[in-house]
């Protein structure tokens, strides 16, 4: 077990900067998820820690050791690949035993350890099978067993659940998290699935275009997104963003955009005169079927029925606003009225796209 520290790590492939001056600290025994869209550099970061890629700049520390020039085999890290990367010509037993065999562990001890870890993961009945005779979920467990068997300092996982069907994925999420807690191994987990990140992580590092956008607990990421990217990436359906201005009209403060204006609480007076991007989640909206004071009229473009939840897509020319329709309201006709909940509104700077103010309770 060990902590992992990245200091100003940069990795370029030709002209493309895959990882850009990334600094990150993963504490001993912590479960950290690298989250981001494809091509954001999260997998490259993982490969840098594994030693499969060499950084162009910066330092990578595992435990108390600078590992920039240490061979992957000697870093004492284990990795689970997205495709599992099992050795197709070996049995399950052979696969799990392989890292121990390479490390020169005596045969009897190898046997003991393989059986132990196979039992832990519930695959002790499959030891004589070849990977091709296993289901996706079973292959996944074998890959985990192979990584666990030599008791690594750091556990690296590259989208390990993305090849499983939805039901199994949910199940494995909890099992993985349980296992990690039980064993207390420092784990770095790469995914583009925000639900996976939110449910499993102690801390989430959100990345985009090779840069770290925000590093914090799932709650911080969700409720205090550092910038427009994080706010838009985490949450489903994505957060609504509207560009506009904070202005004073008569005695009140208004958010004025080219699509609509919205009366705000007076606490936002510090933003007076500023250009802002207002953001609010579809779930954090009050909806009324009839016109009401302070509500914005919206023309319904379509309803997205997801069983328990229904979302309405509202049309404002080149802007589309998505709002959640409460169960108690039945949408008749094609007009509804809505306003974001004041305490769940975010204001971002339009130039830097950084968060400048979080909503307050009125």
Partner 1 sequence: MKIRRVVWIAFIYFVLIVFALIYLMPFIRSIVASFMTWEQASRYPPEWIPNPLTFDNYVKLMRLKLFGRWIINSALYAGIIVAGNVLFTSMAGFAFARLRFVGRDALFSALQALMMIPGFVTLVPNYIIIYSLGLVDNILGLAILGIVNVSSIFLMRQYFLSLPEEVFEAARLDGCGPIKMFFYIAFPLAKPAVGAVAVYQFLGAWNAFLGPLIFLRSPENFTLPVGLSFAFQRAMWVEYTPLIAGSLVASLPTIVMFVVLNKYLIRGIAITGGKG
User: Residue 28 CB, nearest distance to partner 1 (Å)?
Assistant: 21
CB nearer partner 1, residue 83 or residue 151: 83
* Cα→Cα distances 113→134, 145, 182, 230, 271, Å: 21, 10, 17, 42, 62
Torsion angle of the four alpha carbons 299, 302, 305, 311, in this order, in degrees rounded to the nearest 10: -40
User: Residue 84 CB, nearest distance to partner 1 (Å)?
Assistant: 8
CB nearer partner 1, residue 81 or residue 222: 81
CB nearer partner 1, residue 142 or residue 277: 142
Q: Are 197 and 177 in contact (CB under 8 A)?
A: no
Residue 175 corresponds to which tokens in the numbers above?
Answer: 């099992």
Torsion angle of the four alpha carbons 127, 129, 132, 136, in this order, in degrees rounded to the nearest 10: -40
Torsion angle of the four alpha carbons 166, 234, 182, 117, in this order, in degrees rounded to the nearest 10: 40
Token pair 């204006």 is at which residue?
A: 261
In three state form, how does the secondary structure of 176-189 look?
HHHHHHHHCCEEEE
CB nearer partner 1, residue 14 or residue 307: 14
Beta bridge partners of 322: 313
User: Residue 12 CB, nearest distance to partner 1 (Å)?
Assistant: 16
Number of helices (H), then strands (E), in the chain:
8, 21
* Binding interface with partner 1 (CB under 8 A): 50-52, 72-73, 77-79, 81-83, 85-89, 98-99, 102-103, 146
User: Residue 66 CB, nearest distance to partner 1 (Å)?
Assistant: 19
CB nearer partner 1, residue 81 or residue 315: 81
CB nearer partner 1, residue 13 or residue 87: 87
* Cα→Cα distances 260→193, 296, 298, 299, Å: 33, 7, 10, 12
**Dist. CA 298–CA 279, nearest whole Å:** 17
User: Residue 153 CB, nearest distance to partner 1 (Å)?
Assistant: 13
User: Residue 335 CB, nearest distance to partner 1 (Å)?
Assistant: 53
CB nearer partner 1, residue 154 or residue 226: 154
User: Residue 288 CB, nearest distance to partner 1 (Å)?
Assistant: 54
**Dist. CA 185–CA 155, nearest whole Å:** 7
CB nearer partner 1, residue 55 or residue 218: 55
User: Residue 69 CB, nearest distance to partner 1 (Å)?
Assistant: 15
Token pair 């494809």 is at which residue?
A: 38
User: How many Cβ atoms from other residues are within 10 Å of residue 343's Cβ?
Assistant: 12
């Amino acid at each position: 077990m060990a902590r992992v520290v990245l200091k100003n790590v940069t990795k370029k492939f030709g002209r493309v900067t895959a990882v850009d001056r990334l600094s990150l600290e993963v504490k001993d025994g912590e479960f950290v998820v690298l989250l981001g869209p494809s091509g954001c550099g999260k997998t490259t970061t993982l490969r840098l820690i594994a030693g499969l890629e060499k950084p162009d700049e910066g330092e990578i520390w595992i435990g108390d050791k600078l590992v920039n020039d240490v061979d992957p085999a000697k870093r004492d890290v284990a990795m689970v690949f997205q495709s599992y990367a099992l050795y197709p010509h070996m049995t399950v037993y052979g696969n799990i035993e392989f890292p121990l065999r390479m490390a020169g562990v005596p045969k009897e001890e190898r046997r003991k350890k393989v059986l132990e870890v196979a039992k832990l993961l519930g695959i002790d009945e499959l030891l004589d099978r070849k990977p091709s005779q296993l289901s996706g979920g079973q292959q996944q467990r074998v890959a985990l067993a192979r990584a666990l068997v030599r008791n690594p300092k750091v556990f690296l996982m590259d989208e390990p659940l993305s090849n499983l069907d939805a039901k199994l994925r949910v199940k494995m999420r909890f099992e993985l998290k349980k296992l990690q807690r039980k064993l207390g191994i420092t784990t770095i987990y790469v995914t583009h699935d925000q639900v996976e990140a939110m449910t499993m992580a102690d801390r989430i590092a959100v990345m985009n275009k090779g840069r770290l956008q925000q590093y914090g607990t799932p709650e911080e990421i969700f409720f205090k997104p550092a910038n427009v990217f994080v706010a838009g990436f985490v949450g489903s359906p994505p957060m609504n963003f509207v560009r506009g201005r904070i202005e004073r009209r008569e005695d009140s403060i208004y958010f004025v955009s080219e699509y609509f204006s919205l009366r705000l609480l007076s606490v936002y007076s510090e933003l007076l005169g500023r250009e802002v991007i207002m953001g609010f989640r579809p779930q954090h909206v009050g909806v009324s079927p009839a016109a009401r004071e302070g509500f914005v009229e919206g023309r319904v473009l379509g309803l997205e029925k997801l069983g328990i939840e229904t979302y309405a897509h509202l049309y404002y020319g080149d802007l589309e606003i998505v709002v959640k329709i409460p169960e108690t309201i039945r949408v008749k006709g094609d007009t509804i009225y809505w306003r974001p909940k004041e305490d769940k509104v975010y204001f971002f700077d339009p130039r830097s796209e950084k968060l400048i103010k979080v909503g307050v309770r009125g």
